[in-house]
Amino acid sequence: MNILKFITAGSVDDGKSTLIGRLLFDSKAVSHDILHTLERQSLNMPDGELDLSLLTDGLRAEREQGITIDVAYKYFNTPRRKFIIADAPGHVQYTRNMVTGASNADLAIILIDARHGVVEQTHRHSMVASLMGIPHIVAAVNKMDLVDYDEQVFYRIAADYQKLAQKLGLQEITFIPMSALAGDNVVTISEKMPWYAGKTLLDHLETIELAETREDEPTRFQVQYVIRPRTEELHDYRGYAGALRSGSFRRGDKIVVLPAGIESTIKAIEVNQQEVEEAFAPQPIVLHLADDIDISRGDSIVRVDGVQPAVTQDLELDICWMSERPLYPGDRLLLRHNAATVKAIVKEIYHKVDVHTFEEQPAEQLKLNDIAYIRLRTAKPVVFDSYKQNRSTGSLILINDNTFDTVAAGMLHEVPVSETLQQDFAI
């Protein structure tokens, strides 16, 4: 049974928490003790209704304000599939939280209030979904009960969103009219919208096909830990532990260690402390090489005969700036790329993106929630693929080197063919 990871996003009060509560409740994924607590907390609701938003608004302070602030994660399953849900907040100042939730999502549900249609946050969240490379989008036109289930309202909003999606290059879009509060088209088909012939939201989530990890993908492995027990029984043991990000390794494969560029051969592969002939992504593995090589945490190991990743100190990337402190050219940060951490300096801010028009604008600085295209130079070479080619090896975060706060999420671009390694970095 495979797992679908999806995120819900939309404007404030579009009904994200209620939608997730409805999914959990109607699919019978709520335990008896939680249901009892929900009934007790919903005593003030009219006609004995349950406040399903309480299933995700877990923090007392958030409930008192009637909003969702943090990204709330929920896990549930049906007989057909397992799910991990990230409920992102709707306020403009919490766009950074959506980036966090979207980083590993297979699908995004963009909620649109039927009364208001496509608004600024619809633009913003759709742009983040496009930037993060989320392959599947559901445009959920919610609160149809408040517009008398009007067919024309739904199709007008769908047409408006389709125009937005074309500008962003979003491809796989499914439109569903619904009422999360009343349960229309969430888990069960609504009798109040006979003009809609599509699937319910849950049926769509259960049946959508996910891209499988292909064995022919370029092999990418980054060392997380060098294992040297130095015991009497394992005196000569040297293993390189980490997650196989994509592709596969076989015993005997010719490999190259990057960024050093030193070649060797895989002598053995361990999975769960057992030697195997072959390993596949996303397995955690331990590699043993035929040669003693100086390898450290953050180094990459790839097959010699495969497509090679970029190795450079000059990086171009899209970022979402997450700090209240502005970013300026010349600022120094820490760059975290999976297990690798290097110092970096901002060389140039090429432009930021207007969330209303998606046009590029010149920028001398970046403010909280700005989305921009910048250039960094790092103290040591970074080994990566472009984000479009590989989300795992093409993503990174930027960290304030004084407070160690995460200040940006970044998606790397391809390096020009003429790019050469820069060695003149001083920091």
* CATH number where 172 lies: 3.40.50.300
Our count of domains for the chain comes to: 3
Do both 157 and 240 map to the same domain? no
Q: What is the pLDDT of residues 93-112, one digit of tens each?
A: 556 667 767 778 899 999 99
**Contact predicate 8/86, CB 8 Å:** yes
Any domain includes 423:
no
Do both 317 and 299 map to the same domain? no
More confident residue, 151 or 50: 151
Mean pLDDT to the nearest integer, 123-148: 92
Any domain includes 54:
yes
- In this prediction, residue 51 has a pLDDT band, given cuts at 50, 70 and 90, of low
More confident residue, 201 or 93: 201
pLDDT at 29: 63
Query: Which of 251-255, 300-304, 375-379, 405-409 comes out lowest in average pLDDT?
Result: 405-409
pLDDT at 67: 40
Do both 59 and 199 map to the same domain? yes
Could you say which DSSP state residue 209 is in?
Answer: P
Do both 297 and 319 map to the same domain? no
Query: Which of 40-44, 55-59, 98-102, 316-320 comes out lowest in average pLDDT?
Result: 55-59
pLDDT at 115: 95
Any domain includes 214:
no
- In this prediction, residue 118 has a pLDDT band, given cuts at 50, 70 and 90, of very high
**Concatenated DSSP letters of 95-135:** HHHHHHHHTT-SEEEEEEETTT-S-HHHHHHHHHHHHTT-S
Please, what is the average pLDDT of the chain?
A: 85
303, 318, 335: which is the final residue of a domain? 303
Mean pLDDT to the nearest integer, 275-285: 94
Q: What is the pLDDT of residues 311-324, one digit of tens each?
A: 999 999 999 998 99
Which one of 245-259, 353-367, 410-424 scores highest in mean pLDDT?
A: 245-259
Do both 46 and 164 map to the same domain? yes
Question: Strand 395-399 and strand 225-227: pairing?
Answer: unpaired
pLDDT at 74: 79
- In this prediction, residue 250 has a pLDDT band, given cuts at 50, 70 and 90, of very high
Do both 183 and 53 map to the same domain? yes
Do both 34 and 160 map to the same domain? yes
Question: Strand 3-10 and strand 107-113: pairing?
Answer: parallel
Query: Which of 65-74, 134-143, 307-316 comes out lowest in average pLDDT?
Result: 65-74
pLDDT at 60: 37
**Buried/exposed 46-76: b ≥16 CB within 10 Å, e otherwise:** eeeebbbbbbbbeeeebbeeebbbbbbebeb
Any domain includes 119:
yes
Any domain includes 164:
yes
Do both 269 and 131 map to the same domain? no
Any domain includes 421:
no
Domain membership of residue 342 as a residue range: 310-412
Q: Rounded to an integer, what distance in angstroms lies between the CA atom of residue 134 and that of residue 60?
A: 31
Tokens 């080197």 belong to residue: 401
Do both 371 and 280 map to the same domain? no
User: For the whole model, what pTM was predicted?
Assistant: 0.81
207, 240, 269: which is the final residue of a domain? 207
Q: How far apart are the first and last CA of the chain?
A: 49
Any domain includes 395:
yes
DSSP H helices in 132-252: 151-168, 201-207
Q: What is the CATH number of the domain that holds 361?
A: 2.40.30.10
Do both 64 and 16 map to the same domain? yes
Do both 131 and 267 map to the same domain? no
Any domain includes 215:
no
Of 321, 326, 346, nearest to 410 by C-alpha is 321
272, 303, 334: which is the final residue of a domain? 303
pLDDT at 340: 94
Do both 393 and 299 map to the same domain? no
pLDDT at 75: 83
